[in-house]
């Protein structure tokens, strides 16, 4: 599991150290743009692209409330997180035709959370063989779609 999350985890940890401000709380108050990668807002939660995606279409579903674990969320927020997750899975299936998904959360730094203070759910579309996309130099590397393109494709579907 640590291998799964580590490439972007380190970058997030480093970016966290540079800023006192929680990037999810900041993004929650901003207009959705390609800069902050927010693609959808709902009443209690929003959706943001992972800046360091494990695969194309890797998104995060984030409650507006800043708490560090799921059991501190109220029932309505937990419910909306799951509803938005299902909505996004439908959209990602239509856009990218993944064969499978990883969904889940890293609760706490020791579990690999990059932004441990603000709980969030990951949705990672998966295809057979995609684990090789960050493979070593010299092998064929399947590049993921550019983030700006992913942002636009998802936004186009939601509008």
**Measured between alpha carbons, how far is 23 from 103 in angstroms, rounded to an integer?**
21
Q: Of the two residues 9 and 118, which places its CB atom closer to Zn ion in the complex?
A: 118
Cα Rg of the chain, angstroms: 15
Are 30 and 38 contacting, i.e. CB atoms less than 8 angstroms apart?
Answer: yes
**Measured between alpha carbons, how far is 36 from 42 in angstroms, rounded to an integer?**
16
118 sits near Zn ion (criterion: CB under 5 A) = yes
**Is 120 considered catalytic here?**
yes
Q: Of the two residues 24 and 101, which places its CB atom closer to Zn ion in the complex?
A: 24
Q: Which of residues 46-105 bind Zn ion (CB under 5 A)?
A: 66
Among 8, 15, 16, 25, contact with Zn ion (rule: CB under 5 A):
25
22 sits near Zn ion (criterion: CB under 5 A) = yes
First to last CA, the chain: 35
24 sits near Zn ion (criterion: CB under 5 A) = yes
Q: How many residues bind Zn ion (CB under 5 A)?
A: 5
């Amino acid at each position: 599991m640590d291998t799964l999350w580590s490439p972007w985890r380190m970058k997030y940890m480093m970016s966290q150290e540079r800023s006192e401000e929680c990037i999810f709380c900041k993004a929650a108050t901003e207009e959705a743009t390609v800069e902050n990668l927010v693609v959808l807002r709902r009443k209690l939660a929003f959706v943001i692209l992972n800046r360091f995606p494990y695969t194309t279409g890797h998104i995060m579903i984030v409650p507006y409330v800043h708490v560090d674990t799921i059991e501190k969320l109220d029932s309505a927020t937990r419910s909306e997180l799951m509803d938005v997750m299902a909505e996004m899975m439908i959209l990602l299936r239509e856009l990218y035709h993944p064969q499978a998904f990883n969904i889940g959360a890293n609760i706490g730094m020791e579990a690999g959370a990059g932004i441990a203070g603000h709980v969030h759910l990951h949705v990672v579309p998966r295809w057979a063989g995609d684990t090789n996309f960050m493979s070593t130099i010299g092998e064929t590397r399947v590049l993921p779609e550019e983030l700006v393109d992913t942002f636009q494709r998802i936004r186009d579907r939601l509008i």
